[in-house]
Structure 1
């Protein structure tokens, strides 16, 4: 019988900087109303009785607070995982797809959302200081897991204040790993980049269903 290859342990994911705007974004998410929390939970496929729904809301809030603590402290995923295990044990809840998968998902998605929101705030502040000099360049991670539609939008450049970013600032779908590279007019000239024309076919590609108009 062939031996099964040993599973590789995920490497520690450390948050390298204390990103004030990202922390603020997480704090705003903690201030959401109950209906908004229910919408967040339904995105993860949550179906439960009213009693179970209350447990899930408590778990979600506690996990988001743990992510906030991780961003504030610049800690690793392993430290968050310890908090994750404590939280779900305290509430007597478990993910149908397993703790390891769910912990990674929560950590990756919530930190990505927070850092994306923080990056946008920084970009808008740069544009306000020097109008017409700051642009966003949509970037994918470039591997085989990138969705075809997302790959087609790679490299789109639009002014930071453009309406395009109202619907297309990543994430643009569940577990989306795209991000916006903030560039200046000087950087664009140096790289030989041009602003993407509104008539370009890629500009017509919509975010995944259920995403967009979130900001």
Structure 2
């Protein structure tokens, strides 16, 4: 585990001024970049569904492809560096719940865009990122201007997973935010400050 990533040695006494209680800038940047982009994508997806605003579909896919790459980087860093140590001592229940929420968010940040990409490609809609075509659409000869599914059942399965995982991540995000506020307002520890790079 990297000394830049790990916050506090569990055997050491709490010292909020310790240099080891901070995270490296890359971790902080990736955390907030991933978090806000995922929140934006979830909000955009809900808006598109409720208002049938399909003209935003290309933007949704582009941001999804972008966050997929960023999420893979986060997963690689997490495997390489491990999880940051808590800044204070918490109950086993709180530690277990925190770890579960973090795993859901980390894995979900990969599976949401991945399922969306699979859904789009298998559905014959291709994949473009901000105007750059990575995978071409599959035109439907019988319906000019429309696309034909490449693998209909796979597209349907990916669509179901996309919605299910999105709902799970929304629940995890709520718990994550509530937990961060608890640390800051009730426990009065440095958890939130650390994630702000302080």
Shared fold (TM-score, shorter chain, > 0.5):
no
Greater fraction helix = 2
Relative to the length of structure 1, the TM-score reads: 0.28
The structure whose RCO (Cα within 8 Å, separation 6+) is larger is 2
Relative to the length of structure 2, the TM-score reads: 0.30
